[in-house]
């Protein structure tokens, strides 16, 4: 700990690819006698995997590559940031886009050495009603299109547990993770692993299923961008006709195959290249295999082949 001012740096995930920006901010802070004590990815705060101590910092910097007008920031974190600042503390990095949030949460917006900054009021606003222009309050001001900021899956309020508070740093590489484990806590936890042989009381597995779990909530839904068409597959005991439709399609393709596959005298199979126009279709892809054939190709369902050579007999013979 130094005698100087204490600072926190919050980082937009996209900045992690340009660590020099972070270093620059830290250097500038140092030149003003401010010491960067903690550094968090903003999404860690947002998903509550990192928590902030109250009234700890003199200055908080938010580093983002976004332009001032286009900043997307989770509004719910503004009060969290306000809480973690000392009275009169400074918050750099947001813009007037979040003006209302600033005012609600007891910030004054001002310029400090020609820089745009929010300053935490020294009077505690939460004791009196804040006067804010209601018009400007947009109910849907929660940021959209920001996939990194996931809503917390649990409906729980943020809990600031001392015990689980670990300084989460931007690890420069995986080994950095070794440094930040809380030795004391780990030693405490290790006790439980010492007497593995002792038969302890176990929780009832059935009780782990709560009523909520039977509903379909609190899970991530896939954003399915990939299906051009629904991959509907007939059920095994299909009654809706889909199965017949599938079977008909299969039969139609197999019928077409019959026009190009024939049994020879020796009961062997070969592609009949004598059929006019079938040797290589107009598309020129018949011989290349199903991955390249057209949807109506009579060779569909047969292996790739070299024109003029019999098709690989082993692969289809046993079922003809």
CB of 86 to another protein, least distance (A): 27
Residue 235 in marked binding region: yes
Question: Applying CB under 8 A, which of residues 201, 265, 266, 267 lies at the interface with another protein?
Answer: 201
From 25-33, 63-71, 106-114, 248-256, span contacting another protein (CB under 8 A): 248-256
Q: What's phi and psi for 243, nearest 5 deg?
A: -65, -45
Contact assessment for residue 59 and residue 7, using Cβ atoms and an 8 Å cutoff: yes
Question: Applying CB under 8 A, which of residues 27, 126, 181, 245 lies at the interface with another protein?
Answer: 181
20 lies in the site for another protein, by CB under 8 A: no
Question: Applying CB under 8 A, which of residues 115, 128, 236, 282 lies at the interface with another protein?
Answer: 236
214 lies in the site for another protein, by CB under 8 A: yes
Task: Give the residue among 70, 106, 71 at the shortest CA–CA distance from 86.
Answer: 106
Question: Applying CB under 8 A, which of residues 68, 177, 242, 294 lies at the interface with another protein?
Answer: 177
16 lies in the site for another protein, by CB under 8 A: yes
Rounded distance, CA 157 to CA 160, Å?
A: 10
Task: Give the residue among 101, 94, 93, 109 at the shortest CA–CA distance from 29.
Answer: 93
Please, which residue, 121 or 257, has the CB nearer to another protein? 257
95 lies in the site for another protein, by CB under 8 A: no
From 1-9, 43-51, 54-62, 90-98, span contacting another protein (CB under 8 A): 43-51
Structure tokens at 126: 């939460």
* Binding residues for another protein, total number by CB under 8 A: 93
Sign for the pseudo-dihedral over CA of 85, 90, 91, 92: negative
Structure tokens at 29: 């802070």
The interface mask with another protein, positions 249-268, x = CB under 8 A, is: xx--xx--x---x-------
Rounded distance, CA 239 to CA 171, Å?
A: 56
Question: Applying CB under 8 A, which of residues 129, 225, 267, 277 lies at the interface with another protein?
Answer: 225
β-bridge partners, 34:
5
From 60-68, 80-88, 114-122, 174-182, span contacting another protein (CB under 8 A): 174-182
Residue 145 in marked binding region: no
Please, which residue, 213 or 272, has the CB nearer to another protein? 213
Question: Applying CB under 8 A, which of residues 131, 173, 267, 282 lies at the interface with another protein?
Answer: 173
185 Cβ neighbours under 8 A, 6+ residues apart: 163
Contact assessment for residue 110 and residue 119, using Cβ atoms and an 8 Å cutoff: yes
Which 272-291 positions form the footprint of another protein (CB under 8 A)? 287-291
Please, which residue, 136 or 242, has the CB nearer to another protein? 242
b/e code 170-189 from CB counts within 10 Å (16+ = b): eeeeeeeeeeeeeeeeeeee
Rounded distance, CA 39 to CA 47, Å?
A: 16
DSSP secondary structure string for all residues of 24-93: HHHHHHHHTTEEEEEEEEHHHHHTTSS---TT-EEEEEEE-SS-GGG----TTHHHHHHHHEEEEEEEES
From 98-106, 131-139, 182-190, 270-278, span contacting another protein (CB under 8 A): 182-190
170 lies in the site for another protein, by CB under 8 A: yes
Annotated binding site: 224, 235, 238, 240, 283, 286, 294, 297
Q: Which residues fall in the annotated binding site for [2Fe-2S] cluster?
A: 224, 235, 238, 240
């Amino acid at each position: 700990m130094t005698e100087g001012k204490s600072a926190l740096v919050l980082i937009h995930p996209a900045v992690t690819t340009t660590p020099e920006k972070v270093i620059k901010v830290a250097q500038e802070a140092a030149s003003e006698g401010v010491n960067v004590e903690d550094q968090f990815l903003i999404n860690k705060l947002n998903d509550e995997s990192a928590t902030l101590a109250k009234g700890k910092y003199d200055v908080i910097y938010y580093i983002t590559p976004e332009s001032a007008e286009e900043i997307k920031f989770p509004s719910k974190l503004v009060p969290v940031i306000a809480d973690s600042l000392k009275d009169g503390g400074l918050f750099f990095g947001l813009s007037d886009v979040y003006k209302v949030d600033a005012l609600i949460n007891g910030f004054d917006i001002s310029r400090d050495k020609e820089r745009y900054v929010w300053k935490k009021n020294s009077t505690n606003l939460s004791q009196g009603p804040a006067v804010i222009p209601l018009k400007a309050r947009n109910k849907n001001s929660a940021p959209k299109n920001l996939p990194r900021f996931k809503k917390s899956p649990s409906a729980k309020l943020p809990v600031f547990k001392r015990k689980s508070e670990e300084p989460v740093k931007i690890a420069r590489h995986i080994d950095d993770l070794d440094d930040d484990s809380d030795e004391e806590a780990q030693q405490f936890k290790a006790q439980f692993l010492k007497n593995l042989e002792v038969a302890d009381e176990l929780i009832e597995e059935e009780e782990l299923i709560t009523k909520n779990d039977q509903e379909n909530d609190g899970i991530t839904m896939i954003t399915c961008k990939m299906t051009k068409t629904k991959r509907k597959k007939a059920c095994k005991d299909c009654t809706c006709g889909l199965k017949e439709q599938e079977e008909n399609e299969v039969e139609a393709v197999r019928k077409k195959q019959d026009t190009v596959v024939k049994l020879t005298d020796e009961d062997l199979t070969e592609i009949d290249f004598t059929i006019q126009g079938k040797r290589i279709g107009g598309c020129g892809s018949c011989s290349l295999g199903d991955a390249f054939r057209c949807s109506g190709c009579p060779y569909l369902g047969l292996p790739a082949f070299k024109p003029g050579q019999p098709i690989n007999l082993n692969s289809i013979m046993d079922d003809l």
